[in-house]
């Protein structure tokens, strides 16, 4: 790579950027699927918030959430990976993916609470700010990953920087064990990233 002339290197960068963009464009969902997913999610939210299961509530809620879902269809579902049929996707998401993720995060939150209580009682902290790399690119995926890192034991996300070869996270770690980025990433991220890579890209 050192002997490549300058114009060729810029050309390679341009081709790689266009390849990433086309990959992103080909993995987008079709228009009506995004509309349907947003509508179903908003309808469930409406039913729980109003707590009104009569015919009048349904007749008021269906068009209202439909109008909102038509305008807001890009916000929620822009980053979902294009994989299967709509019904299979929704069933997989609601029955398998979400409960497993919630149970994993609940136990990690319990562990982190006990760890912070132990640190507050004993005072044995050795803080530091380390840098780790993830393979996720989309905004929603990186947001959920950063929130999960904040809730896991002993870590707090400070900043996110997007580069071309991946996304880098700066993490404030209350008890630094290693400075190697790969090992630190394995310890900090755990299996949350594998979970997020199944749905977001």
Partner 1 sequence: MLEIIFLLFGYSMMFFGALGVIRFPDVYTRLHAATKCDTGGAMGIVFGLALMADAPIIVKAKLLILLMFIAMINPMISHAIAKGAYRYGVKPKVEVDMYAWDNP
Applying CB under 8 A, among 58, 96, 103, 179 the residue interacting with partner 1 is 179
Instruction: Tell me if 146 contacts partner 1 by CB under 8 A.
Output: yes
Instruction: Tell me if 140 contacts partner 1 by CB under 8 A.
Output: no
Helix axis angle, 98-122 to 139-151, nearest 10°: 40
Helix, strand, coil tally for the chain in percent (to 5): 65, 15, 20
Instruction: Tell me if 8 contacts partner 1 by CB under 8 A.
Output: no
- CB nearer to partner 1: pick between 19 and 102: 102
φ/ψ of residue 160, rounded to 5? -125, 130
CB 169 within 8 A of CB 149: yes
Instruction: Tell me if 113 contacts partner 1 by CB under 8 A.
Output: yes
Shortest distance, position 31 Cβ to partner 1, whole Å: 27
Q: d(Cα 61, Cα 80) in Å, to the nearest integer?
A: 26
**CB proximity list for 24: less than 8 A, separation 6 or greater:** 137, 201
Shortest distance, position 125 Cβ to partner 1, whole Å: 6
Applying CB under 8 A, among 8, 94, 96, 129 the residue interacting with partner 1 is 129
Binding mask 16-55 for partner 1 (x = CB under 8 A): -----------------------------x--xx-x-x--
């Amino acid at each position: 790579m050192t002997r490549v002339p300058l114009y060729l290197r810029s050309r390679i960068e341009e081709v790689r950027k266009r390849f990433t963009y086309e990959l992103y464009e080909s993995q987008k969902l079709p228009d009506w699927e995004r509309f349907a997913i947003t509508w179903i999610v908003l309808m469930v939210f409406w039913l729980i918030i109003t707590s009104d299961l009569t015919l009048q509530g349904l007749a008021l809620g269906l068009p209202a959430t439909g109008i909102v879902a038509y305008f807001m269809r890009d916000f929620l579902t822009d980053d979902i990976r294009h994989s299967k049929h709509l019904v299979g996707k929704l069933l997989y998401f609601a029955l398998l993916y979400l409960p497993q993720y919630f149970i994993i995060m609940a136990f990690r939150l319990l562990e982190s609470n006990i760890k912070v209580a132990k640190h507050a009682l004993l005072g044995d902290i050795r803080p530091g700010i380390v840098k780790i790399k993830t393979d996720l690119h989309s905004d929603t995926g990186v947001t959920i990953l950063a929130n999960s890192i904040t809730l896991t034991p002993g870590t707090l996300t400070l900043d996110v920087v997007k580069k071309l070869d991946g996304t880098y996270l700066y993490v404030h770690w209350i008890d630094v064990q290693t400075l190697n980025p790969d090992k630190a990433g394995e310890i900090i991220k755990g299996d949350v990233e594998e979970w997020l890579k199944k749905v977001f890209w």
